[in-house]
Copies of this chain bind each other. A is one copy, B any other.
Amino acid sequence: MGIVVQQIARAEQQVIERLAKAGVATVHEAQARKGMLASHIRPIYAGAQIAGSAVTISAPPGDNWMLHVAIEQLRPGDILVLAPTSPCDNGYFGDLLATSAMARGCKGLVIDAGVRDVRDLTQMGFPVWSKAISAQGTVKETVGSVNVSVVCAGAFIEAGDVIVADDDGVCVVKCAEAEVVAAAAEKRMANEDAKRKRLAAGELGLDIYDMRQTLSAKGLKYV
């Protein structure tokens, strides 16, 4: 009963790159603090910072068959996003699948389950954000779906949404909002640069953001 959606809308590559450059925390703020995946999703190695269009996978627990199907749907720059239909920490993905995905131009994987061969993946420079690292194998018995809407680590993701991922975790930007969010993120970064200088010089946030009166009005007492 699975389906594979072959045509999906993607954001413009240049917009995606601007989101990658901004990083997760800034993008998340720039879109009014929505879109974060749960904090149990962690990178397998530090330092990767990417963005790409989501090719989504809904897979049964302990069954990685749909990854092969999804890889055929990848375009250069895409990111695989796998959500199991019920909680599972099996190692759905390893170095062979990564080799195949890289050959198709895939930038990385976000998976609310497990991954394996992490030393190889690190050496290959294929970043993964996962719930677990586990060599526990999977079967190829039950079909799932590709490029359908999924809930991954508590976030609703549609195929073609922009995934932004770095050491802080993973954030999803709706495809239609990508350009607006990129612009807001850049504005925010410029604004933060100015504040960073003042804070580094010893000014206090209490003064820069003019918080003292509000705090007092809310009842804060100094003793």
Q: For residues 139 through 179 of chain A, which have their beta carbon under 8 Å from a beta carbon of chain B?
A: 139-143, 149, 151, 154-156, 166-169, 171
- Residues of B contacting A137 with CB < 8 Å? 28-29, 33
Q: A60-B139, A87-B38, A132-B39 are in contact. Are A99 and B200 (CB under 8 A)?
A: yes
Question: Smallest CB–CB gap between A118 and chain B, Å?
Answer: 5
Question: Smallest CB–CB gap between A173 and chain B, Å?
Answer: 13
Partner of A71, one of B63, B140, B204, B215: B204
Mask of A120-147 contacts with B, CB within 8 angstroms, 1/0: 0010000000001111110111110000
Who on chain B is nearest to A29 by CB?
A: B137
A186 CB within 8 Å of chain B: no
Query: Complex formed: what's the CA distance from A212 to B13 in Å?
Result: 31
Query: Complex formed: what's the CA distance from A3 to B63 in Å?
Result: 21
A52 CB within 8 Å of chain B: no
A9 CB within 8 Å of chain B: no
Is A33's CB under 8 angstroms from B151's CB?
no
Is A86's CB under 8 angstroms from B69's CB?
no
Q: For residues 44 through 66 of chain A, which have their beta carbon under 8 Å from a beta carbon of chain B?
A: 46-47, 49, 60-63, 65
Interface residues of A (CB under 8 A from B): 1-6, 24-25, 28-29, 32-34, 36, 38-39, 42, 46-47, 49, 60-63, 65, 68-69, 71-72, 85-91, 94-97, 99-100, 102-104, 114, 116-119, 122, 132-137, 139-143, 149, 151, 154-156, 166-169, 171, 192, 195-196, 199-206, 209, 211, 215, 218-223
6 sample A-B contacts, Cβ–Cβ < 8 Å, listed by A number: A68-B206, A116-B168, A117-B168, A134-B168, A142-B218, A154-B154
